Amino acid sequence: MIKRVLIFFIALFIFDGEIFSQEKARRIQLSDISGKRYDLERLLEKGPVLLDFWATWCKPCKEYFPHLEKMHNTYKDEGLSIIGINEDGPRNKRKIRSFLRSLNISFPILIDETAEVMSDYGVYSLPTWFLIAKDGSIIKIHKGYIRGDEILLENEIRSLLFDSDDS
């Protein structure tokens, strides 16, 4: 009995991104580290969006950020927007800038000063990312990072950008 319950909870943890996918993304209006405002609805007009919730103290975030930068450079001309949503808080902008410079990150980093967006999206662990289709539906939610996750993410992105329902 205990084994079945344990298996259930492990499966729920692993597949929770699939269970909640296809719901609509909640509205986001945040500023980047320089004060420029971003609106998720406007970004979606151009194409799909990858939202990545992260913090400077998050070691897995630092490990996979170079992969996100590579995907940003590879797919931005195809319409993909990669947006980092930082959860360090407004007092840590200097630390955030230093972190981004050290990894040569060029995609927009928005500051969730009150953690309201994090709460709205039900994010309770970092990193967590959401892949959102152009119509605003959440295609995939992924929590945590282990090596190889970036390959799965890139496959999801390629599928979203290049697989047509018309075929």
Enumerate the β-bridge partners of residue 109.
84
Domain limits, the chain: 2-162
Give burial (CB, 10 Å; 0-12/13-18/19+) of 28.
Answer: buried
What is 56-96 written as a DSSP string? TT-HHHHHHHHHHHHHHHHHGGGT-EEEEEE-S-GGGHHHH
CATH code at 2-162: 3.40.30.10
The pTM score is 0.83
| Residue pLDDT tens, the chain, 167 long | 655 434 444 444 444 444 445 699 999 999 998 999 999 999 999 999 999 999 999 999 999 999 999 999 999 999 999 999 999 987 898 999 999 999 999 999 999 999 999 999 999 999 999 999 999 999 999 999 999 999 999 999 999 999 855 44
